[in-house]
Structure 1
Amino acid sequence: MDFSYSEEQRQLADSLRRFIEERYPLETRRHANGFSRDAWRTYAEFGVLGLVIGAEYGGFDADATDTFAVQFEAGRALLPEPLIACAVMAAGLIQRHGTETQREAWLPPIAEGREIMTLAYQETCTRYDFARPSTLAQAHADGFQLDGEKVHVWHGETARSLIVSAWNASAQAVSLFVVPSTAAGVSMRPYPALDGARDAHVTLKAVRVPESAMIGDGTHGAAMLETALELGIAALCAASAGALERLIEMTAEYLNMRKQFGQPLARFQALRHRIADMAVQKELAVSMAHLAASAIDHPDAVERCRMISSAKLIVSQAARFVGEQAVQLHGGMGVTAELPVGDYFKALTAASLRLGDADHHADVLANLPAGASSRALTA
């Protein structure tokens, strides 16, 4: 399989890297508090926010390999903005499952950078199980009333709208609703996550939304969430692979600069072997990230699930190995704020936990026999 970039993908990746190097350096990103409005406008100008959105809604009809190219660069730079949560997961969910009216209402603002949307689906004590939400949606004459709590809402503080999962008693199924973060009854407790994102704990008390806020027909919310999570995992694997590449580059540069016994540390064979081991793990992560991207449009749900969970498992394991090695090879400097190695280690650790950790995806693979349906459809 050919994983090389097309000319358009290379141009987009190069443009994004030049912007990061010239106008959005690490120190600026560190002080962005999880979001930069200027950077977000630039992403919209580059077309990054509309990659998964159809051309008729202001997007570019891009495929998963285009998303890989962007997220790989975003991961290399540890871009703090909700590129995956909003421009991949939320936009991809609406593009694939929203009605025509919903696509026209929500996709153009996302592509133009005017709307920031994220998923609110995780709940207390459920870990990564999203198929049995305790949040309830009660039907009323003018729409629905939502009551419940959502935890670990990725970029919750930044989002202007939330895609909330709830048990719809009238449909006896999980339904998804677009809820403005400023709607009456929505309270948000933001907090900084390990990777610098501003996540949130969201409480919904008697939140009224119109029927038009429900995505699709309200009976396939779990399957819709599955789609969004698969898109997010593939993008997160690509971002992690990019971060791994940059972390190894920084570690090699440090070993060439730092001297011991009158010569650079890079001259010591044992340390060179450790860098080689890190490079092997990085290449494995890149290959699996490509596999996840290629799986997005796979027609078989079981095989798609197997490929994506395998990628997340292996990329998470590679992230832990490379991150730990990088910190150790930097010595005492590896745990200081002076060098960016700590930023990358924390970001990779957070990415390993988001959208299912290694143990979760190992369980998914162990419980996915041949001929089984996908996770969402069997839940």
Structure 2
Amino acid sequence: MDFEFTSEQRLLQDSLRRYVDKAYSFEARTALLKAGKDGSADNWGLFAANGWLMAALPEEYGGLGGTLVDTVIIAQELGRGLVLEPFMACAVLAAQTLLATGSEAQKARLVPQLADGTYRIALAYGEAGSRGMPLPVTLQAEPVHDGFRLSGRKSLVLGAVGAKAFIVSAQIPQAPGISLLLVDADRPGLTCQTLPLHDGTWAQALHFDGVEVGADALLGEAGQGLSGLRQGLANGIVALCAELVGGMEKTIEVTADYLKVRQQFGVPIGSFQALQHRMADMAAELELARSSLHAALDAMANDDAVTRDRTVSASKMLICRAAKSVCGQGIQLHGGIGMTEEYLVGHYYKRAVVADLLLGSSDSHEAACAAALQAQLRA
């Protein structure tokens, strides 16, 4: 796989870098957090106007026909700015799940609205017992005369605040397997509990108490939704990993700048060999994480579903752990100021800690890798 950017992708990266550096300052982000907002509608509209929401969506549905590499470029640059808007959750995770499972009619109706930012969907798949993985699913979708009646709970739904609908994984008793249904956020019987996360973003827990939807809410075939759900999750994990790589890049840059100006014994502390070694270790971890991201991109493009999921799980595990290590080192090298809420380096660590638990923790993905390898060896 060729990882050299095309001229269009370099322009995309440059435009995002300029936006984050000039229009999405740490002070602007802090103001949003203090106002209790998970991003802003104006920023989301700007994402749509610049084509970032439609970059990896097919042209026949109003997208630009790009690839996952374009998504990674966007996510990595947004990660550098700790952008609050739910790009990964809505523009990648939910959108790619819809593309993988929806009928032609459903995609033709919904995807153009996702591309222009007027409609936002969130993926509600996690449950208390699944810990961010796609299985198990206990939410029940009981068939009724003109559709389904949903009962159960979903936890930690990313991008749910402001979403107009949810893609919900459920068990239909007459169709063994996982089914996916599109449920409007304002359906009677659906209760949403907003939950603040440690990094300042928000998620929701959903309670379905006899929520009724029509038969046309079913995405794809009943009982056949797991493969599409896994594909959407794989896309979301790769985007999340790219965001963390961007955060590590920025953490190293900020820390290097600080070591040049902070003085001790009359000299910059960056001249101390021990601290130079620490910076070198951080840079080495970043490069390992970047290589792991490239491996995940290659697997997404070329491998079968089983190999793809194993590689993506391995990347999630390695990159999340590297991000916590690098961002934690950044705090230590800053000293006391790195622990303050008013300084940005600590917020990269907070994001790394939260990201480690999203879409399955690094421990859960490590267990998934081990199970896949054992199955391969037995075969």
TM-score bin (small chain): over 0.9
Aligned to 1:17: 17
Aligned to 2:70: 66
Q: Which of these residues, 334, 347, 354, is aligned with residue 350 of structure 1?
A: 354
Confirm or deny: 8 A CA contact 2:133 2:359 kept in the other structure.
Answer: no
> 1:320 & 1:343 partners in 2: Cα distance?
11
More displaced, 294-303 or 340-349? 294-303
Confirm or deny: 8 A CA contact 1:88 1:235 kept in the other structure.
Answer: yes
> 1:319 & 1:24 partners in 2: Cα distance?
22
Aligned to 2:248: 244
Aligned to 1:377: none
Counterpart secondary structure, 1:49: coil
What amino acid maps onto 1:266 in structure 2? G
- How far the C-alpha of 1:130 sits from its partner, in A, is 2.7
Whether 1:156 and 2:166 are equivalent positions in the alignment is no
Confirm or deny: 8 A CA contact 2:331 2:346 kept in the other structure.
Answer: yes
Aligned to 1:8: 8
Whether 1:229 and 2:233 are equivalent positions in the alignment is yes
Aligned to 1:376: none
> 1:304 & 1:124 partners in 2: Cα distance?
25
Whether 1:109 and 2:81 are equivalent positions in the alignment is no
Confirm or deny: 8 A CA contact 1:165 1:177 kept in the other structure.
Answer: yes
Q: 1:34 to 1:353 in 2, by over 3 A?
A: same
Confirm or deny: 8 A CA contact 2:238 2:297 kept in the other structure.
Answer: yes
Confirm or deny: 8 A CA contact 1:145 1:207 kept in the other structure.
Answer: yes
Counterpart secondary structure, 1:242: helix
Confirm or deny: 8 A CA contact 1:145 1:208 kept in the other structure.
Answer: yes
Whether 1:263 and 2:267 are equivalent positions in the alignment is yes
Confirm or deny: 8 A CA contact 1:302 1:371 kept in the other structure.
Answer: no
> 1:2 & 1:106 partners in 2: Cα distance?
32
Confirm or deny: 8 A CA contact 2:47 2:53 kept in the other structure.
Answer: yes
> 2:16 & 2:340 partners in 1: Cα distance?
28
Aligned to 2:288: 284
Confirm or deny: 8 A CA contact 2:134 2:230 kept in the other structure.
Answer: no
Cα deviation code 1:257-292 (max 9, x no counterpart): 111000111010000100010000011111111221
Whether 1:177 and 2:181 are equivalent positions in the alignment is yes
> 1:125 & 1:3 partners in 2: Cα distance?
38
Task: List aligned pairs for 1:185-224, cutoff 5 A.
Answer: 185-224=189-228
> 1:129 & 1:309 partners in 2: Cα distance?
11
- How far the C-alpha of 1:251 sits from its partner, in A, is 0.7
> 1:266 & 1:311 partners in 2: Cα distance?
31
- How far the C-alpha of 1:322 sits from its partner, in A, is 0.5
Counterpart secondary structure, 1:369: helix
Confirm or deny: 8 A CA contact 1:35 1:158 kept in the other structure.
Answer: no
- How far the C-alpha of 1:299 sits from its partner, in A, is 3.7
- How far the C-alpha of 1:205 sits from its partner, in A, is 0.7
- How far the C-alpha of 1:73 sits from its partner, in A, is 0.4
> 1:305 & 1:126 partners in 2: Cα distance?
17
> 2:375 & 2:131 partners in 1: Cα distance?
26
Confirm or deny: 8 A CA contact 1:189 1:200 kept in the other structure.
Answer: yes
Confirm or deny: 8 A CA contact 1:158 1:198 kept in the other structure.
Answer: no
- How far the C-alpha of 1:353 sits from its partner, in A, is 1.4
> 1:257 & 1:134 partners in 2: Cα distance?
55
More displaced, 62-71 or 241-250? 62-71
Counterpart secondary structure, 1:348: helix
Counterpart secondary structure, 2:276: helix
TM-score norm. by structure 1 comes to 0.95
- How far the C-alpha of 1:338 sits from its partner, in A, is 2.0
Counterpart secondary structure, 2:87: coil
- How far the C-alpha of 1:306 sits from its partner, in A, is 2.2
Confirm or deny: 8 A CA contact 2:244 2:323 kept in the other structure.
Answer: yes
What amino acid maps onto 1:362 in structure 2? E
Confirm or deny: 8 A CA contact 1:52 1:91 kept in the other structure.
Answer: no
Counterpart secondary structure, 2:182: strand
Confirm or deny: 8 A CA contact 1:57 1:104 kept in the other structure.
Answer: yes
- How far the C-alpha of 1:319 sits from its partner, in A, is 0.9
What amino acid maps onto 1:113 in structure 2? G
Aligned to 2:104: 100
Cα deviation code 1:339-379 (max 9, x no counterpart): 10111110111111111222111111111137759xxxxxx
Confirm or deny: 8 A CA contact 1:64 1:294 kept in the other structure.
Answer: no
What amino acid maps onto 1:8 in structure 2? E
> 2:352 & 2:136 partners in 1: Cα distance?
29
> 2:132 & 2:254 partners in 1: Cα distance?
33
Counterpart secondary structure, 2:250: helix
> 2:177 & 2:83 partners in 1: Cα distance?
36
Give the alignment's Cα RMSD to 1 decimal. Answer: 1.5
> 1:242 & 1:116 partners in 2: Cα distance?
25
Identity of aligned residues (%): 39
Runs of at least 4 residues of structure 1 off by over 6 A?
Answer: none
Q: 1:372 to 1:205 in 2, by over 3 A?
A: farther
More displaced, 241-250 or 31-40? 31-40
- How far the C-alpha of 1:131 sits from its partner, in A, is 2.5
Aligned to 2:92: 88
Aligned residues: 373
Counterpart secondary structure, 1:235: helix
> 1:246 & 1:128 partners in 2: Cα distance?
27
Counterpart secondary structure, 2:372: coil
> 2:31 & 2:209 partners in 1: Cα distance?
34
